[in-house]
Amino acid sequence: MDHLTIGCACILALVFAVSAASKLRGRAAFDEFAYATRTLLTASAQALRGAERRRPGERVVRFVALGVAMAEAVAVPLVAVPATARVGFGLAAVLLTCFSAAIALTLRRGVSTACRCFGAASAPLSRRHLVRNALLLAVAVAGLVTADGSLDGVHPAGAAVAAVTGAVAAVLLIRIDDLADLFAPAASTPTRRRRS
């Protein structure tokens, strides 16, 4: 495991830990995520089949939602342990590819739903979520390519720098909606001209 792999592992471990915890922190949070999952599944199925189909059943939706949250939770220790890092990076890549496909199909159908990736965010899914997933997918692929299953030759100071850098990058990716809102141009209100 080199410094790049450590940084990649920190990014993905933190992102997936926060994502899984936000979905599983309580019944209300899970219900909100399951509702978003239903919308994504329905829109994706309609986009692929080109026809209106009935919505997936409650059991299927909750099973998929729980499966996603559990897969995210399992990815965390897998990427963190050198011996299982390749499996973790591979799982992360599969999850991110599936998430991206579902988001792209939903956007293609013109369906608007809130992004519940990290809890109760109210921001609707948009292209920025595809960009975030593409960046995370690149991180997963980089980790998959560079992971070698050991920490031989890793300098502790370099590992610490890589871990901190990965943590900062993860926080920025997690808070992408807030950052986009912060830097978005403020909506201007029209001013009326005074008559002389």
Which residue type sits at 11? I
The pLDDT, as a whole number, for residue 36 is 87
The pLDDT, as a whole number, for residue 188 is 47
CB neighbour burial string for 36-65, b if at least 16 within 10 angstroms, e if fewer: bbbbbbbbbbbbeeeeeeeebeeeebbebb
Output the pTM of the full model.
0.85
Q: Which residues of the chain have pLDDT under 70?
A: 50-54, 119-122, 186-196
The pLDDT, as a whole number, for residue 193 is 52
Are 87 and 100 contacting, i.e. CB atoms less than 8 angstroms apart?
no
The pLDDT, as a whole number, for residue 80 is 93
Strand boundaries in 76-163, DSSP class E: none
Task: For residues 196 and 113, give the distance between their C-alpha atoms in angstroms, rounded to a whole number.
Answer: 48
